[in-house]
Amino acid sequence: MARGTGSLGDPGRLIGALMSRPTGYGRSRSSRDDDVGLSLRPNAPKGATVLASILLTLAGLSQTILSIQAIDDLLARFDVTITPEYAWIALIASPLLLIAGSFFRGL
């Protein structure tokens, strides 16, 4: 069975794509800062990544350890229910998202 040339189904190709850095020919240095690729030197995560991490932390805390009435009201307003299992997952995912944002440029 032949594999497709454009598929990332092969784990080696997927890892290669994540580890590669775009070359950015013909662009200024400041525009290359937005490229996605693994960085061996940690960078500051993007603002959207930090905001998503804060929201995950607040939602997770509000549903597990500490009841935050404003967050509970906001979740109820948008008719979002979070089970305790998903709340713990949100608490775990929050710092992992920041770590990923530090090592993967553009995230």
**pLDDT tens for each residue of 57-99:** 999 999 998 888 999 999 899 998 889 999 999 999 999 999 9
For residue 7, is pLDDT > 60? no
Look up the pTM and report it: 0.60
59 to each of 11, 36, 54, 66, how far by Cα in Å?
34, 28, 9, 10
> Do residues 63 and 36 lie in contact, with contact meaning Cβ atoms separated by under 8 Å?
no
Domain edges within the chain: 8-38, 40-107
CA distance 37 to 34: 10
